[in-house]
Structure 1
Amino acid sequence: MASPAPFSKYEFLIAWRYLRAKRAEGGVSVMTWISLIGITLAVAALIITLAVRSGFRDEFVTTILGANAHVTIYNSAIRDENGRLTRSIPDYTDVAAELAAVEGVVRAAPLVKGQVMAVFRDQNTGLEIHGIGADDLAQIPRVADPATGIGDLANFAQGVSIGREAARSLGISVGDVVRLISPNGVRTAFGTSPRVGEYQVVHIFNSGRYDIDRTRAYMPFTEAQAFFNRDGVADEIDVTVTEPEAINEMVPTLLAAAGDRALAWTWQDSAGGFLRALEVEDTVMFVLMSVLVLIASMNIISGLVMLVKNKGRDIGILRTIGLTEGAILRVFFLTGALVGTIGTILGVVLGCLFAIYFDAILAFVNGAAGGGVWDGAVRGIYRLPAKLEAGDVLSAVALSLFLSWGITLLPARRAARMNPVEALRYE
């Protein structure tokens, strides 16, 4: 007569029976529930942590790429006819056209930059002015988004666009007139006098990043040239590409198109240190959450050790009627594995639901705490999203099942090696 195949139906039935056994029947239902709840919470915590980590990185990178150039092209410094060092680009129109012709480039926008003091009534703040063409500004997603901005960029030629936090600091709204003061103004025989200009605020943008909204404003390109004494030149050319993650591979081609004096500064150069810190933090958080899963899985050992001790008579009888050591091992392995598997499934459901409704949960916590739980001025971004990724969920499931199934082998092996004579001696 052929032996039953491993993991036969009767092994699952015995394991399920032991898993549901009450204490009065020699079972350990309390320990089973503790193990189940522990694994559920640990897996849920791991998935939530990974989802928040992915959401934070995605929001951070999206706000960088959505409001800044993917690569900035500028010239190396040379001395002008007055002996001053300059990095200006006199042939910016031709250079921008050459850059725009490079495969993978979405736009190449000449830019004039300058620092000013913005004054409105009794309030003042420092701003970085970006002089840019209206068509180029309309292609910056986080700035030109009508869903988050106030005002109309169609009127950009008649005024300036200012960041939300800067507008809040000054107390201005669309239609107000802001005074801009530049220390590098008109050159006279007595020196350089500050240049003062008044501009109507036609648009207030929300880029999603506090540092940008607090310090940046946009001005029409030709107006910025006149205001900052940059007649006929640009300070840099902002380039946007289709694949920002591969920008480093495009840099040599862009530099070749921009000329011999061209230098490049990519978004990864500016944010690379922070992104590397996030990667280290991701690894540390995954290890810490993995320890929680391991601790929760260890509860299965306690429950199975007690179950093996209480079921010694049953093990002796099962061995006597013909079950092999392998069959006994599989029965108790399945008992513990079922706890780990059910706990993992419940943890995945709980973690995914928490991540999906994370915004609502965070809003509730913020309201209950009286606000200030997530401060954009401190964190840099205005919201903390959670982003579920299949890879994160699968890694959490794989880790939980590996630990919970592996842990059960120890007490299951002990049960399989139990001597049936010793188990039945005092029965």
Structure 2
Amino acid sequence: MTTKAAVPQIPQEQLTPELLRVWSWHRQGLGGTLAGADPATVLDRAGWARSVGGANAYLTLFARAGIRRPEADAALAAQHIHELPAARGCTYVLPATDYAWGLQLGHASAEASVKVLQRLGVERREIEDLAAEVLRVLLGVRGTETEALDPRGIKQVLGDKVRSLGEEGKKKGASTTLPAALGLLQADGRIRRVPVNGRLDQQRYSYVAWQLEDSGQDDEAVRVRMLERFLCWTGGATLGQIRWFSAFTVAQSKKALAATGAVEVPTAAGHVLWMLPGDVDELAGFEAPKAADIQLLSGSDSLVLLRRNSADLFDETGAEAVAGMSGSALAADLSDHPIVDRGRIIGLWQYDPDNARIAWWTFEPASDGVLVRVAQIEQWITEDLGDCRSFSLDSPKSRATTIARLDALRQR
């Protein structure tokens, strides 16, 4: 008869914010543990990279494994990684092993779009019929030079089968019936969208037919799988953080957590983290590295986005430095990109494409390590990306005030 191994009990007072910041850094593969890994492995180990037409996916891969844009783009073209609607219906870049069940998590978002059209008087049958026509068109051009069709091209082929919903539809964010049909097809893995220039930092897409097999799991099993992955990526999270990322109900979250075997671990700050037993065991023997380890990350990097806990990553000096700053630097979502040392945010940065440079500011005098890493990221962005947008509508013009502010703060 076998018995379940006892989970180590870590004294609450030992789990300080300082230690947990470094622990999160370690679990995110930012301490060198993912050096040399391929793009799919990075996303499997560190978590899905949020994609909103910005540079986050590229910076995620470069910071952890030194992956340059050509390698990332090649992995995308080979379908080793892909941008898909997953948790909460939000788009992330996923490794191939997660496509089917990741899409299953995001299916509710596609259904929500259908419900919007139904409230506008569109019958579900009409949307499903349109989806079938879209798939017929894309299957018909498969293997040709024009097998990827953008929404305009699809609409040109289908003509009046795509219905305009007029001004009322525009108010609801649904000017025609086509997006809802595309959403259903994508959520079912019958089509996939591909960036028109093969890059992850823009939001112009075409569509191709796909034949992705389903996960073979029911929704309950997929929820368990999601929380197992999420807890591995984060090294532990509160129930609120789990629910924000997953959009699961309290009951769904607690049932899935029980199925993972996760345990509650109180921290010195009074929070309760849910952790996998193996992670508790690792944390019990974890020692924070002594040497500085500087990274320039995206404001939507998994280190801060998965749990939306950026405020926890500032120490007292950093919190005082950004207090009252316009753009809510201490809000759940960072207003600027962070400069990070072993999980602690020590400064902020933005890229200035007009001058091919990084505008940056650290809360205390910058070390040589900061200067070196700023120069490295500056060169990489200039050579590989040309710009470092936070999201699709971000532009040098919209960023000008922030860049000037960072320059002024650095010169004080």
Q: What is the TM-score when the length of structure 2 is the normalising length? A: 0.22
Task: Write 1 or 2 for the structure with the bigger share of strand.
Answer: 1
Task: Write 1 or 2 for the structure with the bigger share of helix.
Answer: 1
Question: Highest Rg: 1 or 2?
Answer: 1
Q: What is the TM-score when the length of structure 1 is the normalising length? A: 0.21
